[in-house]
């Protein structure tokens, strides 16, 4: 399941470059935020047609094996794609959609899978029973919380503990007890009260698959945050080069130069952390090694993305605090994603627990 | 509701009370009279919502603590004014549309003509004139003295053209006080004058700005050939900068009041308990640090209050207080977001409970280091005017 990806280093680099280019179909580089703003604070919080387009492009099945109709690509490709989507602030729930599709594909489910891979229906996995966790208790009756963009879901995938195993059930949205809350970025979280009587069992033993998929989603989220930080920092850098006060561009003031340099260092660290974690997973890292690599990247991305997006507001002064200016969009996106699939504190703790011995040097 | 205890007779001279007696006297009245539904408003209230409190204060004669009694103020000493403000903050009282009270009134009292005093001050006290402040411009923020909105003489009028920005609650105001350029040849601080303008004068356009709280607290105000009678000039022509600047020092001690951070720290504790991390050692260490920062900030603030009590004027070093307070407020808000789990993404409070509002506070804390003179500018002041460093 976690075998190293085939291909030379050059072939991998080319594959990652291609997926980056294809991301422009949805999140054009240098594109404006008009689309993003039009979707904010409306239901379902994203454009279902764009999610379908993501399916057509093979993104939802990016991690699913080719035999199951997926693309069988690596975390390197997924992280490159997520980073581009983060830079474009794409509100479509690709990461949750991909999580469900990947788990079902790896579990051998074939009935729902084609429609999920095509992006025809959005079926987030409702795994979370409390905030800030990566554990999946699978309690049959506990409310499932923080389901991303649940307003657009047509189906929920419910992990349920049965003896020592985690089974998966598919619960239709229609008739489900679902409450929605708005999020800072203009999307929504759902809280679902499971009704297993209405649900259909679609996989028997998915606990390990789910744990792996959650790790992959955490790393993809770190990559998405990297894109958010990059684009947000770019806004501030442009502003430092053009805004004049006291008869000179403000980027000529050393205090601001140093602050920008410090933020650039955080960007560099985050990129290095995310890309090396992706490479480790693609080289076959499993278990504790996988968890440690993912946690290192997510801890960095969570903390750095909050730091960068709020410093970008400060570097802009008053204009950065207006809703009309884009700096706030990046701040809000970081607020929503920084703690999703585990906060920096959770991942720091998990890293210390799982990092291989003797790695201190 | 229990009946309020019988209010003691209003003392002749509030300044004669010792500080504790004064504090309790003020506290008792606020608690009995402040509309409970307006406590700790999550956003700055508009006039239609805060005027009930404005008029209560006005009726009591407590609207203008800093004005001399002869002009209808309370005539409080600076130390008593601080206590008065602390008590308002303690109870979570909303700020009213107070630019006339806090900024314009004192300026007219110090620099206005007798006619201006007689005309304008009573109308602030009665709530007939609601003022807003037109200082910042799109290209004159931190570098305020570079402002370009100009006033050109034309007979017995000035004709004003230009644009102001970050004008707080301009849409509620019926008057605006403006810094305008009246001499383009002079050094930039020396060609600025202070003008009073009715908002219904033809040529004025107000455009609200939605901020990150999704609230229209600020506005842009545009001036297109706006004719202002010359009698609406305050002080001497081209001397407006010095008058406006004299009022800014007082603003900084208010921005340095520990109350904002103290309120946020209570919120952090409530959130930590809600999230189940209150007993965790790593959280407790972080909380202890913030708590100690707050205690030291209170002591630091006390140093400045003591100076006022001794009748000293505050120097540029009060900028340090603004830096400490606003950055502590942000560190507390940042801590809230970090422990909130996925709640850090919610648009509103957790479970609708206003006491558990990490995202609201995180957003609200952002501009604290920008307004009232950004912390970058405050650090320049400390470096140049306190430490005597060159540049």
Domain ranges of chain B: 14-96, 131-238, 256-386
Average pLDDT of the segment spanning A97-105: 98
CA distances from B177 to A16, A204, B135, B233, B247 (A): 59, 72, 8, 10, 14
- pLDDT band at residue A157, thresholds of 50, 70 and 90? very high
Average pLDDT of the segment spanning A192-200: 94
For an interface test with B, give the residue of A242, A321, A328, A343 to mutate (most B CBs within 10 A): A321
First vs last Cα of chain A: how many Å apart?
30
Q: Minimal Cα distance from A322: which residue of B? A: B211
Does the pLDDT at position A277 exceed 80? yes
Q: What is the pTM of this model?
A: 0.93
User: Quick check: A256 contacting B, CB < 8 Å?
Assistant: yes
The residues facing A148 across adjacent strands are A189
How does pLDDT run across A307-319, given as a tens digit for each residue? 999 999 999 999 9
- Please give the torsion angle defined by the CA atoms of residues A289, A294, A299 and A303, in that order, rounded to the nearest 10 degrees: 150
**What total of structural domains would you count in chain A?**
1
Instruction: Indicate whether A325 belongs to any domain.
Output: yes
CB contact under 8 A, B212 and A345: no
Both tokens assigned to A215: 């790790």
How does pLDDT run across A318-341, given as a tens digit for each residue? 999 999 999 999 999 999 999 999
If one counts every other C-beta atom within 10 angstroms of the C-beta of residue B5, the result is 8
How does pLDDT run across B149-187, given as a tens digit for each residue? 999 999 999 999 999 999 999 999 999 999 999 999 999
Of B10 and A306, more confident? A306
How does pLDDT run across B176-185, given as a tens digit for each residue? 999 999 999 9
Which ranges of chain B would DSSP assign to H, the alpha helix? Answer: 19-33, 47-60, 78-90, 99, 105-111, 114-125, 240-255, 259-275, 281-309, 319-339, 358-365, 375-381
Query: Which chain A residues are within 8 Å of B207, Cβ to Cβ?
Result: none
How does pLDDT run across B12-37, given as a tens digit for each residue? 789 999 999 999 999 999 999 999 99
User: Quick check: A343 contacting B, CB < 8 Å?
Assistant: yes
pLDDT the model gives residue B314 = 87
3-state SS string over B251-317? HHHHHCCCHHHHHHHHHHHHHHHHHCCCCCHHHHHHHHHHHHHHHHHHHHHHHHHHHHHCCCCCCHH
Of B342, B362, B370, the CB nearest to A131: B342
Cα–Cα distance measured from residue A290 to residue A279, given in angstroms and rounded to the nearest whole number: 11
Query: Which chain B residues are within 8 Å of A299, Cβ to Cβ?
Result: none
Q: Residue A342 is part of a domain; what is its CATH number?
A: 1.20.140.10
Cα–Cα distance measured from residue A336 to residue B54, given in angstroms and rounded to the nearest whole number: 38
Please provide the average confidence, as pLDDT, over all residues in chain A. 95
- pLDDT band at residue A1, thresholds of 50, 70 and 90? very low
Average pLDDT of the segment spanning A229-245: 97
CB contact under 8 A, A318 and B371: yes
Average pLDDT of the segment spanning B119-145: 94
Domains B131-238 and B256-386 share a fold: no
How much of chain B exceeds pLDDT 70, in percent?
96
CB contact under 8 A, A132 and B141: no
Instruction: Indicate whether A132 belongs to any domain.
Output: no
Does the pLDDT at position B252 exceed 70? no
Query: Which chain B residues are within 8 Å of A248, Cβ to Cβ?
Result: none
Surface-to-core class of residue A192, CB atoms within 10 Å of its CB (0-12 exposed, 13-18 middle, 19+ buried)? buried
Of B146, B359, B369, the CB nearest to A335: B359
Does the pLDDT at position B1 exceed 50? no
Residue ranges of A 264-323 with Cβ closer than 8 A to chain B: 303, 306, 310, 313-314, 317-318, 320-323
The residues facing A169 across adjacent strands are A158, A201
* Contact criterion met (CB below 8 Å) for B71 and B109: yes
Does the pLDDT at position A359 exceed 60? no
Of B166, B210, B379, the CB nearest to A318: B166
* Model ipTM over 0.85: yes
Surface-to-core class of residue A250, CB atoms within 10 Å of its CB (0-12 exposed, 13-18 middle, 19+ buried)? buried
Query: Which chain A residues are within 8 Å of B367, Cβ to Cβ?
Result: 318, 321
Average pLDDT of the segment spanning A271-300: 97
CB contact under 8 A, A343 and B341: yes
Please state which of the ranges A290-299, B303-312, B320-329 shows the lowest mean pLDDT: B303-312
pLDDT the model gives residue A32 = 86
Cα–Cα distance measured from residue A59 to residue A52, given in angstroms and rounded to the nearest whole number: 10
> CATH number of the domain at B14-96, out of 3.40.50.720, 1.10.540.10, 3.20.20.140, 1.20.58.110?
1.10.540.10
Q: Minimal Cα distance from B217: which residue of A? A: A322
Question: CATH topology for B131-238?
Answer: Butyryl-CoA Dehydrogenase, subunit A; domain 2 (2.40.110)
Does the pLDDT at position A205 exceed 90? yes
pLDDT the model gives residue A83 = 98
Token pair 């069992």: residue: A201
For an interface test with B, give the residue of A37, A91, A132 to mutate (most B CBs within 10 A): A132
Average pLDDT of the segment spanning A23-45: 92
How does pLDDT run across B268-322, given as a tens digit for each residue? 999 999 999 999 999 999 999 999 999 999 999 999 988 888 888 888 999 999 9
Give ∠ CA B337-B338-B340 in degrees, rounded to 5: 65
DSSP conformational letter for A124: -
- pLDDT band at residue B226, thresholds of 50, 70 and 90? very high
Query: Which chain B residues are within 8 Å of A345, Cβ to Cβ?
Result: 282, 338-339
Please provide the average confidence, as pLDDT, over all residues in chain B. 93
Q: Which domain holds residue A340?
A: 210-354
CB contact under 8 A, A182 and B346: yes
Known catalytic membership, residue B251: yes
Instruction: Indicate whether A16 belongs to any domain.
Output: no
- If you write DSSP's letter for every residue of A264-312 in order, what string do you get? HHHHHHHHHHHHHHHHHHHTT--HHHHHHHHHHHHHHHHHHHHHHHHHH
Residue ranges of B 40-59 with Cβ closer than 8 A to chain A: none
DSSP conformational letter for B346: B
Residue ranges of B 278-297 with Cβ closer than 8 A to chain A: 282
Give the contacts of B145 (CB within 8 A, at least 6 positions apart): B188, B189, B192, B241
pLDDT the model gives residue A84 = 98
HSE value, Cβ hemisphere, 13 Å, CA-based, for B357? 19
Instruction: Indicate whether A272 belongs to any domain.
Output: yes
Its CATH architecture, for the domain B256-386, is: Up-down Bundle (1.20)
């Amino acid at each position: 399941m976690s075998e190293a990806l085939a291909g030379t280093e050059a072939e991998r680099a080319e594959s990652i470059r291609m997926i980056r280019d294809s991301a422009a179909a949805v999140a054009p580089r240098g594109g404006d935020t008009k689309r993003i703003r039009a979707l904010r604070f409306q239901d379902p919080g994203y454009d279902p047609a764009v999610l379908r387009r993501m399916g057509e492009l093979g993104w939802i099945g990016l991690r699913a094996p080719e035999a199951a109709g997926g693309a069988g690509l690596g975390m390197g490709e997924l992280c490159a794609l997520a980073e581009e989507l983060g830079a474009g602030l794409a509100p479509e729930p690709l990461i949750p959609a991909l999580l469900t599709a990947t788990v079902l594909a790896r579990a051998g489910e074939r009935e729902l899978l084609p429609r999920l891979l095509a992006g025809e229906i959005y079926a987030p996995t409702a795994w979370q029973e409390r905030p800030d966790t990566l554990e999946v208790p699978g309690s049959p009756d506990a409310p499932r919380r923080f389901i991303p963009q649940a307003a657009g879901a047509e189906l929920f995938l419910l992990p349920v503990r049965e003896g020592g195993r985690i089974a998966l059930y598919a619960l239709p949205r229609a008739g489900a007890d679902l409450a929605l809350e708005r999020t800072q970025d203009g999307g929504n979280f759902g809280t679902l009260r499971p009704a297993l009587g209405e649900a259909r069992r679609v996989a028997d033993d998915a606990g390990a698959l789910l744990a792996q998929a959650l790790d992959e989603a955490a790393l993809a989220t770190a990559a998405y945050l990297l894109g958010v930080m990059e684009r947000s920092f770019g806004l501030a850098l442009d502003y430092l080069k053009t805004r004049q006060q006291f008869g000179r561009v403000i980027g000529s003031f050393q205090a601001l130069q140093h602050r920008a340099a410090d933020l650039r260092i955080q960007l560099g660290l985050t990129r290095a952390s995310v890309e090396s974690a992706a490479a480790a997973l693609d080289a076959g890292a499993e278990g504790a090694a996988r968890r440690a690599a993912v946690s290192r990247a997510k801890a960095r991305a969570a903390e750095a993305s909050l730091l960068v997006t709020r410093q970008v507001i400060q570097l802009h002064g008053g204009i950065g605090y207006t809703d009309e200016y884009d700096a706030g969009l990046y701040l809000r996106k970081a607020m929503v994603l920084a703690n999703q699939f585990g906060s920096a504190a959770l991942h720091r703790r998990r890293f210390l627990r799982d990092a291989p011995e003797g790695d201190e040097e | 509701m229990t009946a309020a205890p019988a209010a003691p007779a209003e003392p002749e001279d509030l300044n004669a009370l010792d500080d504790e007696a004064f504090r309790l006297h003020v506290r008792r009245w606020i608690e009995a009279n402040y509309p409970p539904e307006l406590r700790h408003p999550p956003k700055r209230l508009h006039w239609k919502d805060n005027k009930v409190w404005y008029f209560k204060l006005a009726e009591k004669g407590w609207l203008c603590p800093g004005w001399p009694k002869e002009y209808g103020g309370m005539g409080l000493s600076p130390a008593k004014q601080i206590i008065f403000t602390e008590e308002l903050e303690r109870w979570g009282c909303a700020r009213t549309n107070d630019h006339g009270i806090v900024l314009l009134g004192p300026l007219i009292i110090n620099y206005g003509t007798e006619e201006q005093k007689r005309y304008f001050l009573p109308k602030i006290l009665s709530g007939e004139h609601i003022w807003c402040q037109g200082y910042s411009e799109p290209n004159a923020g931190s570098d305020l003295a570079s402002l370009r909105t100009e006033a050109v003489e034309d007979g017995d009028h000035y004709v004003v053209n230009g644009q102001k920005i970050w004008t707080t609650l301009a849409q509620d105001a019926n008057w605006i006080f403006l810094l305008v350029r009246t001499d383009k040849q002079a050094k930039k601080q020396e060609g600025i004058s202070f003008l009073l303008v009715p908002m219904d004068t033809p040529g004025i356009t107000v455009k609200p700005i939605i901020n990150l709280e999704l609230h229209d607290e600020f506005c842009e105000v545009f001036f297109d050939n706006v004719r202002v009678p010359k009698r609406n000039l305050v002080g001497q022509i081209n001397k407006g900068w010095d008058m406006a600047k004299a009022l800014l020092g007082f603003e900084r001690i208010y921005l340095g009041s520990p109350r904002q951070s103290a309120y946020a720290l209570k919120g952090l504790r409530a959130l930590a308990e809600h999230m189940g991390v209150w007993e965790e050692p790593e959280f407790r260490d972080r909380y202890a640090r913030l708590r100690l920062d707050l205690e030291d900030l209170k002591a630091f603030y006390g140093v400045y209050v003591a100076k006022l009590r001794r009748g000293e004027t505050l120097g540029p070093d009060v900028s340090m207080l603004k830096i400490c307070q606003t950055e502590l407020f942000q560190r507390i808000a940042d801590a809230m977001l970090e422990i909130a789990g996925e709640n850090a993404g919610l648009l509103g409070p957790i479970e609708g409970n206003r006491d558990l509002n990490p995202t609201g506070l995180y957003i609200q804390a952002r501009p604290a280091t920008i307004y009232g003179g950004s912390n970058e500018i405050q650090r320049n002041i400390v470096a140049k005017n306190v430490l005597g460093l060159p540049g």
